[in-house]
Structure 1
């Protein structure tokens, strides 16, 4: 059985929900329904940044990885970490995965922060994900939270984390890209 490793933050971990409602678990269910032999590993950690993910990546690379889904950066944006630093961390994660599992297919989940953030930061932050995907010739989900962010009935009461219905949308965004990388 081939592994699909999701490295992410609270969105991947399914903050506030039972683990089976988090979008990586929904992807596992879809894989089984469609007859694919893949095992999803959810390495989501609430509050994690790109630097934190880089630090803990080695623990998750003990097993071979067929597909790697990189879903970090939201907390970098919320904390105002310079886009250059986030870019460097994400690039190092991609490099480590490629070194460990050269045949691994990589998916990058894009993040955005609201344009209400002053200055050029929001635009720089949004752009870094697309540029990394192009530079590394990897698959790309433009905005993981598209259609969920800011919609009250798709989020928990905190207004930040998707609820079970919101996670279904995240799973759909991910599946749309992931499906083309799968092998029966």
Structure 2
């Protein structure tokens, strides 16, 4: 699925040609995402990205691709979600996931770290390593965070929630502080999200995903605008 027949040299030439075409084109419009060639974005994540519990067409990535296509954006998001994956799991498969055709990266990891009660420092180290790898490849990143529940204590919650904010600032990544606030930015209590969640209370239903995509889509266009 992620293999490529392009050599690194050929890939570099291809990107150079595309970038030259972009430079000579009319001024860039984020709404139209008007690139000389289609853009590929890799979505690295867990079950929230994979579309757990939903028919394939109703998952996050298919709905996001449909949203982009409806707006004339020649952007394809690849589904790199693995249900149950921790930040360590995402890091372990990052190298072979970032094939030459990938132009940008979405990172949505940390939910399973929370479910396992891993220390925020562990999650921070893994996500920082992911951002470092993306930076070394000159890939713009959209980092989507998680919010820790209060039952781990205020110190844990502060450390976990802030790691996304701090790492995004350090590595110049776009940031969405909380995945679930994409569903309802005004929600102040998890119970307010229940109409948009599956029975497990963890994963969004199709309507919840649709709401998330409506808020996520414009940020993907913003991400695409950063591609050199």
TM-score normalised to the size of structure 2?
0.75
Moved more, 64-73 or 113-122: 113-122
- Whether the 8 Å contact between 1:22 and 1:167 is mirrored in structure 2 is yes
2:45 aligned residue (8, 13, 33):
8
Partner of 1:178: 220
Kindly tell me the number of residue pairs found equivalent between the two proteins.
Answer: 181
- Whether the 8 Å contact between 1:155 and 1:166 is mirrored in structure 2 is yes
- Whether the 8 Å contact between 1:5 and 1:65 is mirrored in structure 2 is yes
Q: CA offset at residue 174 of structure 1? A: 1.7
Q: CA offset at residue 45 of structure 1? A: 0.5
Tell me how far apart the structure 2 counterparts of residues 25 and 19 of structure 1 sit (CA, whole Å): 7
Tell me how far apart the structure 2 counterparts of residues 131 and 56 of structure 1 sit (CA, whole Å): 24
Q: CA offset at residue 119 of structure 1? A: 4.5
Tell me how far apart the structure 1 counterparts of residues 158 and 115 of structure 2 sit (CA, whole Å): 14
Q: CA offset at residue 19 of structure 1? A: 2.0
Partner of 2:144: 109
- Give the RMSD, CA atoms, in angstroms: 1.6
- Whether the 8 Å contact between 2:135 and 2:171 is mirrored in structure 1 is no
Tell me how far apart the structure 1 counterparts of residues 151 and 119 of structure 2 sit (CA, whole Å): 17
Equivalence map 1:123-142=2 (5 Å): 123-142=158-177
Q: CA offset at residue 20 of structure 1? A: 1.6
Indicate yes or no: 2:95 matched with 1:58. yes
Tell me how far apart the structure 1 counterparts of residues 217 and 74 of structure 2 sit (CA, whole Å): 15
1:153 aligned residue (195, 198, 211):
195
